[in-house]
Structure 1
Amino acid sequence: MDASFWALVSLILFLALLAYLKVPGMLTKSLDDRADKIRNELDEARRLREEAQQLLAEYQRKRKDAEKEASEVIAAAEHEAAGLVAEARQKTDDYVKRRTAMAEQKIALAEAEAVNEVRQSAIDIAVSAAQTIIADKADEKTTGELFKSSVAELKERLN
């Protein structure tokens, strides 16, 4: 029993020494400091996570806005392209109509010129034939009368 007694006394003295040196307070303080540190790290991790979620939401919003803007630009470009195609088609139709009208006018003019040439040729042939016939059949008296009647007719037409 003597050894047990001294072991008990040693234990009590050791515990008293630990209490006197405030070892339990230091352990508690160390554990509290570590708990505070872990709590701060958890708070920092939560804050960083929230920031990351906000950034993610902002980037997703920006992406949606960019997609919307891109689709609007594409729609505007398609609309403009359709307008340009319609305008080009209209201009082409107008050009074809103008060219057709010009060709028809040229054809009509050529027809009129051809008719006039035929008439002129017929007149020239008729005048030539008439001159030949009159020259063959006319004497001086008839020629003089024709000349006088032609001059009179010309005066009448000029007045």
Structure 2
Amino acid sequence: MRMIAAIAALAVGAGPALAATGSFVSLRNTDFIVLIAFLVFVGVLLYFKVPAIVGNLLDKRAEGIRRDLDEAKRLREEAQEIYASYERRQREVATQADQIVANAKREAQAQAAKAQADLKTSIERRLKAAEDQIASAEADAVRAVRDRAVQAAVAVASEMLMAQVGSGQRSAGIDDAIDDVARRLN
């Protein structure tokens, strides 16, 4: 209220009103009418408690803004927590990926070593099989040579015996051989 009185006093004592000739308090003086209209307007505003209503509206607005700021602060903190959580997860995933790569390398090295050992075993088996085949072929060749030698010796011995023994002695030798075989079989 004091403020309004101060404004009115200032308006009354200010510039053009003092410069005008004639009485200030007159309905013909526009400054006076504007002053009265202004005072009536301010009175109506005060009567209907407009400053209190505007103050309440501003307080409500300030409270809404404060709530919005608190909510934004809470959301920001929550977003920071989520971001930190995602960073932790990313580090964990990166660690897991490194472990998977390391495991894959170890498994690949183990598989390569196993494949090398299998190849070496396979080569040794094939060499052994080849050596066995060579030994078998060698034994077969020796046997074949012996058989041929025996056949040749028997043929030569048969010819020599045929030449030395006459026909009469031949049958007596056969009979002796048959008797000898019979005795041995019994």
Q: Tell whether the structures are fold-level matches, with TM greater than 0.5.
A: yes
1:102 aligns with 2:129: yes
Match of 2:149 in 1: 122
Unaligned runs of 5+ in 2: 1-17, 26-30
For the residue of structure 1 that corresponds to 2:24, the secondary structure is helix
Structure 1 partner of 2:70: 43
Higher gyration radius (CA): 2
Quick one: which of 21, 24, 48 aligns to 1:3?
A: 24
Write the distance in 1 (CA, Å) between the matches of 2:181 and 2:114: 61
Using the alignment, how far apart are the partners of 2:119 and 2:166 within structure 1?
69
| Structure 2 match to 1:86 | 113
Letter in 2 for 1:78: K
Per-residue Cα deviation, 1:22-55 (whole angstroms, up to 9, x for no partner) = 3332332233222212211211211221122122
Counterpart Cα distance in 1 of 2:152 and 2:59: 136
Identical positions, percent:
34
Query: Which of residues 56, 76, 89 is equivalent to 1:62?
Result: 89
What RMSD in Å do the two structures reach over aligned CA positions?
3.1
Number of corresponding residues: 157
TM-score by length of 1: 0.76
Q: SS at 1:51's partner residue?
A: helix
What TM-score do you get using the length of structure 2 for normalisation?
Answer: 0.67
Which residue is 2:3 aligned to?
A: none
Which consecutive unaligned segments of at least 5 residues does structure 1 have? none
Moved more, 24-33 or 147-156: 147-156
Letter in 2 for 1:68: T
Is the partner of 1:3 in helix, strand or coil?
coil
**CA–CA separation in structure 2 for the residues paired with 1:87 and 1:149:** 71
Give the AA of the match of 2:86.
Answer: Y
In 1: Cα distance, 2:39 partner to 2:154 partner? 164
Q: Which has the higher helix share?
A: 1
**Aligned residue for 2:55?**
28
Deviates more, 1:124-133 or 1:75-84: 75-84
